[in-house]
Amino acid sequence: MISNRDLLTNPFTREEIESARDVVQRLLEPTPQISWPLLSERIGCEVFVKHENHLPTGAFKVRGGVFLLNYLSTLSGLNGLVLATRGNHGQSIAYAGRSAGMSVNIVVPKDNNKDKNRAMRALGANLIVRGDDFNEAMDFAIQHAHKPGLLFVPSYHPLLVQGVATYAYELLTSVPNLQTVYVPIGLGSGIAGMITVRDALKLDTEIVGVVAKNANTYRLSFDAGKAISTDSASTLADGLAVRKPDSEALAYIIRGAARIIEVSELDLNQAIRTIFLDTHNVSEGAGAASLAGLMKEKDRQMGKRVSIILSGGNIDTSTLMSALSPST
């Protein structure tokens, strides 16, 4: 078992976040937060892009992986890790596991992004294909982890949040007076990290979660104040393709986020295209969701100072080409 912590009753302190930063920065350089003039002009406010797509795995999750593996390296009798992923969590743990000399077994659903599968194998992971979606892959991973010496690593865990929170610390200490930050929500570690840093720094920055309309379990659950699952989660933003919310993440998000908004597949394609046109960066669907959310609330943010989290750039060629086509 990985030691747990209730963030609602025992949130991370600034000192704990800075301690995680020191661990993470042994392997990872801080990422930039850039206000691109074309993007700010398009939206009508000062927009800072937090470029987590610049990390070695192309996504923010690697921060949590590095911090978690630093902790797991102190445990005895551990022969390997098991996890389920759509890609970024898997690349994160595979990257950190390779650095720590730890065996990593990754379960992905049948339709998973082939480029992300190749990237995880290249990092030395043993890839297992099971299930029709993320939640079915996770069920298999939990069963597989019952073998002696293996440990299941969830996509959401307080230690992962502590590591991931370092991106939010970099942003909120580098860009003062941010009024709103838009954060994509997969299983919840990214937005939880932003909430915990905002609170630790005693800021009043508004945090808005963004989900895909076709994978809106967290929006439904947030509005209802309780977990609501969906029958499917089919979206080009595979990092957001979750049918069931994590109960701990949901409780923390309900307490700390201002609202959660939905964006359509058309909105996501438009945001991917806009990021490319205005910043010459490539974004995956989940990474572009925050901009899609800001564009949806453009009138609300006029003239303000805001940030979007470009959480990842791991998009396959066909999806990128489709998004860059003006017809989408």
33 pLDDT above the threshold of 70: yes
Rounded Cα distance, 207 and 255, in Å? 11
Structure letter (DSSP) for residue 238: G
The DSSP result for 266-305, as a single string, is HHHHHHHHHHHHHH-----HHHHHHHHHHHHTTGGGTT-E
Residues 283-302 have pLDDT tens digits of 999 999 999 999 999 999 99
Query: What average pLDDT does range 230-243 have in this prediction?
Result: 92
Pairing of strands 126-129, 103-108: parallel
- What pLDDT does residue 1 have? 60
What's the pLDDT tens digit per position in 139-180?
999 999 998 889 999 999 999 999 999 999 999 999 999 999
Say yes or no: 205 and 267 in one domain: yes
Per-residue CA distances from 287 to 148, 152, 278, 312 (Å): 37, 26, 15, 5
List the beta bridge partners of residue 128.
107
Predicted pLDDT of residue 327: 65
Domain assignment of residue 97, given as a range: 62-152
Q: Which of 128, 152, 176 is the last residue of a domain?
A: 152
Which of 135, 152, 169 terminates a domain? The answer is 152
Q: Give the domain CATH number at 78.
A: 3.40.50.1100
- Among 78-87, 177-186, 291-300, which stretch is predicted with the lowest mean pLDDT? 78-87
Residue 157 CA to residue 164 CA, distance in Å, equals: 10
Q: Domain ends where: 96, 125, 152?
A: 152
